[in-house]
Amino acid sequence: MKKALIALAGAALVLTSAACSTTSGGGEPAGPGASTGDTIYVLGPTPDHGWTAQAGTYGQARVDEINKEGKYKAEYQASSDGEAQNDLVQTIIANGDAAGVVFFALDDSAKSGQEALIAESIPFISFDRIIEGPDKSAVLNFSGDNWSVGAGIGYWLQKNGLKPGDTLVTLIGDNGTVSSRRQEGFEQFLTGDREYTDNHTQQTAKTTEAWTQEQVDELTATFKVVSDWSADKAYEYLEQKLPDIIADAKASGGSLYVFSMDDEMTFGFMNLLEGNTLNDAAKQDLRDLNVYVSAIGGMQELYDVMAGNAPQSAIAEEYFDGLMSMWFSPKMMTTAINFMVQYLDGTDWPFKVGDSEFEPTWIVDESNVSEFEGFTGH
């Protein structure tokens, strides 16, 4: 059996809502409480699996509560991509009853939908995926602290021996701001330009060795792939590249580190190890290496692996020296909607147009996993 299993979890969330308001000119909303509409529109993903599905579930539940409360009407409108969200925005504008929109942009093509809201002076909260340009006109940009989760993984991997010249595999979610901010936070921690603060323990850490940017670039240059938040795509990449990854790790000191930007992609690695694709030699090499694997999200299935009471716990125990996931809960979608209600109520609104607010994050591992309830992912 390998060394003690470690785990961290995090999850993120996303929503949208649109409104018709009086204006102060220049396409800007008139301010908190000034709306003439009565409907909160929440634009989010079509629930399918993982973090996305649970975010949509939380969003729909909060919409139902708002309708029962009776002060505002609310609608959750699901889409499969940003272009479909743009079509929904046109319908919202035509309806003429929008009080505000909570906008979980599914990809960067949703930029034109946000621009249409701006042109109509409909206040919107940008959630999770923050699109540059429209973000300056959002009444709030709200997301999990993606820079912090990246820094947290940098801290955890370094604590477990990561040094210049080691082998790192980076499993990237997509090409949007969520992933780019996670990458920035990771690199900035290593170079000493960012500290990591754990919002559960309230402890702050900084790098034990300030890396040069050249050292960081070398670390992150070779083994990386955009996996579209998919376990299957991470599996396919690792199935193809693992022989090269193992050879590189053996040649560079015997350690392998995985910077995975989502629980789903971390499960892709475990699914590969659980199957019959790898030959016995590759599996033995992995047992012999020091292997530290990260994640971000908070799926209960991964918490169960960390706690040692899931079918894949044996896989992680056999092949990994450490496993972690940063806390990043899809319950944030509820918080995003609550911010819109607060804005429309017009009281105690502390933000200016274009401001950002971030949901805290922290490390969940074997020592504290029993304290947290994750979301159902699969």
The whole-number pLDDT of residue 334 equals 97
Q: Closest by alpha carbon to 16, among 205, 121, 142?
A: 142
The whole-number pLDDT of residue 28 equals 74
Residue 39's beta-bridge partner residues?
A: 73, 98
The whole-number pLDDT of residue 6 equals 36
Q: What is the largest CA-CA distance in the chain?
A: 69
HEC-encoded secondary structure of the chain:
CCCCCCCCCCCCCCCCCEECECECCCCCECCCCCECCCEEEEEEECCCCHHHHHHHHHHHHHHHHHHHHCCCEEEEEEECCHHHHHHHHHHHHHHCCEEEEEEECCCHHHHHHHHHHHHCCCCEEEECCCCCCHHHCCCEEEEECHHHHHHHHHHHHHHCCCCCCCEEEEEECCCCHHHHHHHHHHHHHHHCCCCEEECCCCEEECCCCCCCHHHHHHHHCCEEEECCCCHHHHHHHHHHHHHHHHHHHHHCCCEEEEEECCHHHHHHHHHHHHCCCCCHHHHHHHHHCEEEECCEECEHHHHHHHHCCCCCHHHHHHHCCEECEEECCCCHHHHHHHHHHHHHHCCCCCCCCCCEEEECCCEECCCCHHHCCCECCC
Burial (CB count <10 Å: 0-12, 13-18, 19+), residue 274: middle
* C-alpha 248 chain-centroid distance: 29
List the pLDDT tens digit at each of the 378 positions of the chain.
344 433 333 333 333 333 333 333 446 776 787 667 999 999 998 866 678 888 998 999 999 999 999 999 999 999 989 999 999 999 999 999 999 999 999 999 999 999 999 999 999 999 999 999 999 999 999 999 999 999 999 999 999 999 999 999 999 999 999 999 999 999 999 999 999 999 889 999 999 999 999 999 999 999 999 999 999 999 999 999 999 999 999 999 999 999 999 999 999 999 999 998 999 999 999 999 999 999 999 999 999 999 999 999 999 999 999 999 999 999 999 999 999 999 999 989 999 999 999 999 999 988 899 999 998 865
What gap in Å lies between CA 144 and CA 164, rounded to an integer?
A: 29
Residues 6+ apart with CB under 8 A from 259: 153, 157, 168, 169, 170, 171, 186, 294
Angle between helices 82-95 and 111-119 (to 10 degrees): 20
Q: For residue 71, what are its two tokens?
A: 């002060």
What gap in Å lies between CA 58 and CA 76, rounded to an integer?
A: 10
Neighbours of 174 (CB within 10 A): 18
- The ranges assigned to domains in the chain are 18-143+331-353, 146-327
* Topology classification of domain 146-327: Rossmann fold (3.40.50)
What gap in Å lies between CA 87 and CA 112, rounded to an integer?
A: 10
In Å, how far are 127, 195, 283, 314 from 310, measured between CA atoms?
Answer: 33, 34, 21, 8
**pTM, 2 dp:** 0.87
What gap in Å lies between CA 124 and CA 242, rounded to an integer?
A: 44
* Topology classification of domain 18-143+331-353: Rossmann fold (3.40.50)
The whole-number pLDDT of residue 328 equals 94
Tell me, yes or no, if the two domains 18-143+331-353 and 146-327 fold the same way.
yes
Q: For residue 220, what are its two tokens?
A: 């992150």
Compute and round to an integer the Cα radius of gyration of the chain. 22
Q: Compute φ and ψ for 80, nearest 5 degrees.
A: -100, -20
Tell me whether strands 290-293 and 322-323 are parallel, antiparallel or unpaired. Answer: parallel
Neighbours of 217 (CB within 10 A): 11
What gap in Å lies between CA 188 and CA 181, rounded to an integer?
A: 10
The whole-number pLDDT of residue 175 equals 92
Residues 6+ apart with CB under 8 A from 68: none
Q: Closest by alpha carbon to 129, among 116, 150, 114, 118?
A: 114
